[in-house]
Structure 1
Amino acid sequence: MTDVLIVGAGPTGLTLACDLARRGIAVRIVDRSPEHPRTSRSKGPNPRSLEVLEDLGVIGAVLGSSAAPPVMRKYRDGEPVADTDPYAGSSPAPDAPYDRGRLIAQWRLEEILRDRLAEHGAAVETGTEVVGLTDDGTSVAVAFADGSRTEARYVVGCDGAHSRVRKLLGVPFDGETDEEQVMVCGDVEINPGGLDRDVWHQWFDTDGAVMLCPIPGTRSGWWFQSGPERDVGGRPLAPTEEGFRRLFARHTRLPAAHLTGAALLSTYRVNVRMADRYRVGRVLLAGDAAHVHAIAGGLGMNTGIQDSFNLGWKLAQVVRGRAGSELLDTYEEERLPVAAWTLDITSERLRATLEAITKPGGGLDSAVTPSMSGLDRGYRWSSLARPGGGDGLRSGDRAPDAPCHDAVTGEPTRLFQIFAGPHITVLGFGAGTGPALRAAASAHGDAVRTCLVHGPGDPAAGTADAGPHALHDRQGLARAAYGVRGDGVVVVRPDNHVGLIAEADDERSVREYLAALDGAREPDRVEWAGMVDGTRKG
């Protein structure tokens, strides 16, 4: 029996599989498609998803296969009227290393994640369709279309908007489909001399629109989006290569022959729907299986990736017996409100974009807002977010990055390098947190990585006594990012969200919070800043 069966091998399922596999969980991932798709439809990860991909160890491959979003060039009546860079003036910050997303074909991102999964000893099983689920309370029996069966301790449906898993569970997918807002999409080849590949071209005319964005890693490949051709009754026609050529020629005023090929043709209708629950017993939902929304802002794939990053560590802790199954309830508690917000913001941005393109110079940049980065999405309402916090930052918020130096070697490093990996992180700001850090490490072993953060004027910084994980916060940027005054402890969850911010002498809160995440464990005769072997001194 496998620990976790993942149904669906898109970015959501692959992110979850990689996260579980690196935690030592026996994972099986299946997909009904007979072969790995070559779809390029999703344009790429936003800044928060880039942070997730960095933690998974694939950021180098992603950056090497992707490109920064190009300038958007808007046309009216075939003539350029405006060039807009939605990210003009922005740059990486000490607490956020990615100030914009990256463009990458979805098939390439999936390939990178499959390669990473293979390094953990797992692979996608294609042509494997789930047709039945039976949850007996201790495991889930799964039936496949070929007549075979298997058992898993947990099943996660990452199988898209038409999720078979969701339908088998009988979970409603309430919402609406706008039959008026229709778009045709595909990957096209365009004569290399026909268009400048350094810009995202957007033609908006009174009788329709065509948008062409260069696909990174190709010489002449483009993402094609357009309003559909319609019949005499006004009904949208199915997309065809010849239809794409006609739309291309009509709006770009370039010869139709410049568009030399089209593939992966599809019709997109605005769907705004959400599952009313993400867990039914031992079966859970993630990504488009749980929520779909307007494409404005490009949050679809990103919301799924972030669902998986939230779920992976929780599922692993429950499977390993380090937490009760109630920890899985916090997945829905935290991610369902994010999905509801996503449905609202993408619908609002779609309305704003449709209004903007009626005016010369308006374009898809109207969909780009700071919230689309994903960096401001946190879980302050969560039962895992303990009261308290510093100046600005609160429990439940995304844990910020900060440049630091190794306290022993002096080499530059970052907080994200301390966070990276399948562990809980306990940061101690100030020497007074030493006892709490030692007790946490003793009680929880490899499940916890402790790190003492020395301030700019701390004389201990740079000495061998600093310990295996000690940083010198030379500029005070780490302390500023976390808003910690005096000596304080910050517990960072495995999904890099702040769980607890406490005073250095608040040993009870630190101990109890770590027990909630990793089970109650006794330290091996190490003080909890005032306690020895669980008994208060004096």
Structure 2
Amino acid sequence: MMDVLIVGAGPTGLTIGIELARRGVDALVVDRAEGLFPGSRGKGIQPRTQEVFDDLGVLQAIRAAGGPYPTRMIWQDGERVGEQPMFEAVDADEGTPYTEPWMVAQWRTQEVLHARLTELGATVAFGREVTGLTQGAEGASVAFADGTAVRARYVVAADGGRSAVRRAVGVGMAGETVDPSPFLVADVRVRGLDREYWHAFPGSDGSFVALCPLAGTADFQLAARLPEGTGPDLSLDGVRKLVAAYTHLDAEDVTELRWASDFRPRAALADRFRAGRVFLAGDAAHVHSPAGGQGLNTSVQDAYNLGWKLGAVLRDGAPEALLDTYEEERRPNAAAMLDLSTGVHRGEVRRGKATVQLGLGYPESSLSVETRTAPAGVRPGDRAPDGTVAGVRLFDAFRGPHWTLLGATTAVPGVRTLPAAPESYGPGVFLVRPDGYVGWAGDSADGLAAYLTRAGCR
């Protein structure tokens, strides 16, 4: 029986796979498709996710695979009528090195993550469709369409909004329609349109077509909101007619259709993120409108949170109860991100400080313990900012599957220790979790040992 079976080789499943592989956990990623997802869909990598990718050892490749977002150019009747910045600016400082979303087509993000997973010695088994799941006290058995089955101590459902695993364990998912109009998204090759702008062509009835040059590729991502009652045509001819109807381009200027999909924007949240030995992550747990670029990024945060906890239980002797904190921390966070995505879609929230995910944390978590007599500055549950201590950059010190202690006078076995915290943290001793959030803070290291035992760090 293996340790963990991960169902779904999207960004969520691949991230969890990387997290477990670097901890020496016996895990397998499976996917019903015959290969990696081919489209651009989730193309925005938020600053907090860039910090996660830095820790996972893939940020350099992610940055090389994409580029910054262009300014939006508005068109009317074949004329350029105005520019709009895509995001409100977020100021960079020592604690926040990445402040702007980075555009990377989802298929390229998955290629980078898959390469890292392979580098760590793990694999993805494609063409494995889940048809059933049973579980008991010691583990779960997952059945596949080819008649085979795999037993694992834990199963992670990272198999999307129509998750077969979620249905198999009977977890409901409540939601609402964000927009009644049908949407179409496609990757196309286009001639006669410059790549300096994200080109928007609004219709008179609230419909639109937008063509965004996909950084790091020769493609444009076409996104369209169609009139209610319209049936999206995902063929090359259908996409050509759509472009000709909304833009100044001719149908033949769309020279290639590489991928296309249609959807109706919806917000939905699973009733639970854990069902016995099964954990829900990514779109299997929450479905977002694509507006604001929160879906993929929230999914990566799920994986980052769950990965270190599974590793702690399976390899470090942490109590099983640690795994309950996954739902405790991630479900409220996902619910907040669903509200944010819906707000951006409806024009109620601007992209910028609210959407970069740098302010997210777990202040109400049972893992966030404050023992200082006069707390100030960074609090338990907060994201641990970057900075420099004794010539060491904190993000370099945090990188890896370990805990980090800032400000202690003596070293703690199994924990990387630095002699101080940056001034921006405020006074005290700070224990930083493997996922880059402050778990514990105190005036001294008194009481730290009990916290580390509870979290399985010793």
Q: TM-score range by the shorter chain?
A: over 0.9
Deviation at 1:244, TM superposition (A): 1.6
Which residue in the other structure is 1:253 paired with? Answer: 248
Report the more deviating stretch, 69-78 or 311-320.
69-78
Please give the per-residue CA displacement for 1:24-56, whole angstroms capped at 9, x wherever unaligned: 101100000012231111113100111000000
Which consecutive aligned stretches of 4+ in structure 1 deviate over 3 angstroms post-superposition? 86-91
Letter in 1 for 2:159: D
| Structure exhibiting the larger radius of gyration computed from Cα positions | 1
AA matched with 1:296: A
Q: 2:124 & 2:433 partners in 1: Cα distance? A: 28
**1:184 CA displacement:** 0.9
Q: Which stretch has the larger CA shift, 386-395 or 396-405?
A: 386-395
User: For 1:323 and 1:388, how far apart are their aligned partners in 2?
Assistant: 22
What residue number does 1:427 align with?
A: 406
Asked if structure 2 preserves the Cα contact closer than 8 Å seen for 1:229 and 1:236, the reply is: no
From the superposition, tell whether residues 203 and 388 of structure 1 become closer, same or farther in structure 2 (CA, over 3 Å). Answer: farther
Give the residue type in structure 2 aligned to 1:402.
G
Letter in 1 for 2:70: P
Q: Which amino acid aligns with 2:211?
A: L
Determine if contact 2:232/2:262 at 8 Å carries over to the other structure. no
What corresponds to 1:474 in structure 2?
none
CA contact under 8 A between 1:229 and 1:243: conserved in structure 2? no
Tell me how far apart the structure 2 counterparts of residues 383 and 450 of structure 1 sit (CA, whole Å): 23
**What are the residue-to-residue correspondences of 1:90-129 with 2, within 5 Å?**
90-129=90-129
The aligned counterpart of 1:350 is 345
Matched, 1:415 2:394: yes
Q: Indicate conservation of the 8 Å contact 2:21/2:117, yes or no.
A: yes
Aligned residues: 455
SS at match of 2:422: helix
Match of 1:498 among 430, 433, 438: 438
Confirm or deny: 8 A CA contact 2:15 2:303 kept in the other structure.
yes
Question: Residues 350 and 367 of structure 1 are in contact (CA less than 8 Å); yes or no, is this contact kept in structure 2?
Answer: no
Residue 370 (structure 1) aligned with residue 353 (structure 2):
yes
- Cα displacement (A) at 1:174: 1.0
Aligned equivalents of 1:402 and 1:178: distance in 2? 40
1:360-419 CA distance string (max 9 Å, x none): xxxxxx64131210100110000001124642321101111114553xxxxxx4100000
Contact 1:201 1:212 in 2 (8 A): yes
Other-structure match for 2:362: 379
| SS of residue matched to 1:511 | helix
Q: Kindly indicate whether the alpha-carbon contact (under 8 Å) linking 1:229 and 1:237 is maintained by their aligned counterparts in 2.
A: no
Tell me the distance in 2 between the aligned counterparts of 1:178 and 1:511. Answer: 47
Q: Superposition pairs for residues 231-246 of structure 1, below 5 Å?
A: 234-246=229-241
Deviation at 1:261, TM superposition (A): 1.4
- Deviation per CA, 1:287-331, whole angstroms, max 9, x where unpaired? 000000222101110010000001101011111252111111100
Distance 1:182 1:144, change over 3 A: same
Q: Distance in 2 between matches of 1:89 and 1:348?
A: 19
Q: Distance in 2 between matches of 1:310 and 1:179?
A: 31
Report if the CA contact (8 A) 1:203-1:209 is conserved: yes
The question of 1:211 aligning with 2:205 is answered no
CA distance in 1, matches of 2:325, 2:214: 38
Answer whether contact 2:19 2:56 (CA < 8 A) is retained.
Answer: yes
Cα distance between partner residues in 2 of 1:492 and 1:391: 16
Question: Residue 197 of structure 1: which of 185, 195, 199 is its match?
Answer: 195
Given the superposition, is the C-alpha separation of residues 314 and 329 from structure 1 closer, same or farther in structure 2, using an over 3 Å criterion? same
Alignment match, 1:171: 171
**Equivalents in 2 of 1:242, 1:168: separation in Å?**
39
**Structure 1 Cα separation of the partners of residues 74 and 225 of structure 2:** 16
Q: 1:78·1:251 contact (CA, 8 Å) conserved in 2?
A: no
Q: Which consecutive unaligned segments of at least 5 residues does structure 1 have?
A: 354-365, 407-412, 454-477, 522-538
**Unpaired runs of 5+ in structure 2?**
none
Q: Which secondary structure does the structure 1 equivalent of 2:221 belong to?
A: strand
Q: Do the aligned residues in 1 keep the contact of 2:319 with 2:456 (CA within 8 Å)?
A: no
RMSD of equivalent CA atoms = 1.7
SS at 1:373 equivalent: coil
Answering whether residue 309 of structure 2 is matched by residue 326 of structure 1, we say no
| % identical aligned pairs | 43
1:35-74 equivalences in 2 (<5 Å)? 35-74=35-74
Q: Helix, strand or coil: the match of 2:132?
A: strand
Within the alignment, does 1:452 sit opposite 2:427 as a pair? Answer: no
- Give the equivalent residue in structure 2 for 1:27: 27
Q: Distance in 2 between matches of 1:87 and 1:265?
A: 26
Aligned residue identity for 2:357: G
Structure 1 residue aligned with 2:454: 516
Report if aligned partners of 1:93, 1:99 keep a CA contact under 8 Å in 2: no
Q: SS of 1:518's equivalent?
A: coil
8 Å contact kept, 1:77–1:205 = no
Kindly indicate whether residue 142 of structure 2 is the aligned counterpart of residue 142 of structure 1: yes
Between the two structures, name the one with larger relative contact order (CA 8 Å, sep ≥ 6). Answer: 2
Between the aligned partners of 1:403 and 1:351, the Cα distance in structure 2 is 41
Question: CA–CA distance in 2 between the matches of 1:179 and 1:75?
Answer: 23
Amino acid at match of 2:198: W
Please tell me whether the aligned partners of residues 228 and 239 of structure 1 are also in contact (alpha carbons under 8 angstroms).
no
Q: SS state of the match for residue 107, structure 1?
A: helix
AA in 2 matched with 1:83: E
1:229, CA displacement in angstroms?
6.8
Task: State the 1:77 CA deviation.
Answer: 2.9
1:172-227 Cα shifts (integer Å, max 9, x gaps) = 01112357222111101101xx11101111111204311111112223x1000112
Q: Distance in 2 between matches of 1:268 and 1:480?
A: 48
In the alignment, is the contact (CA less than 8 A) between 2:182 and 2:227 conserved in 1?
no
Contact 1:388/1:394 (<8 A) preserved: no
Contact kept, 8 Å, 2:19 with 2:304, in 1: the verdict is yes
Aligned residues of 1:388 and 1:395 also touching (Cα < 8 A): no
> Is 1:304 the counterpart of 2:247 in the alignment?
no
Task: Check 1:88–1:371 CA distance in 2 against 1; reply closer, same or farther (3 A cut).
Answer: closer
Q: SS of 2:293's equivalent? A: coil
Match for residue 480 of structure 1 among 420, 423, 438: 423
Partners of 1:91 and 1:369 lie apart in 2 by: 10
Is residue 165 of structure 2 the alignment partner of residue 222 of structure 1? Answer: no
What does 1:457-472 correspond to in 2, within 5 Å?
none
Q: Distance in 2 between matches of 1:265 and 1:417?
A: 40
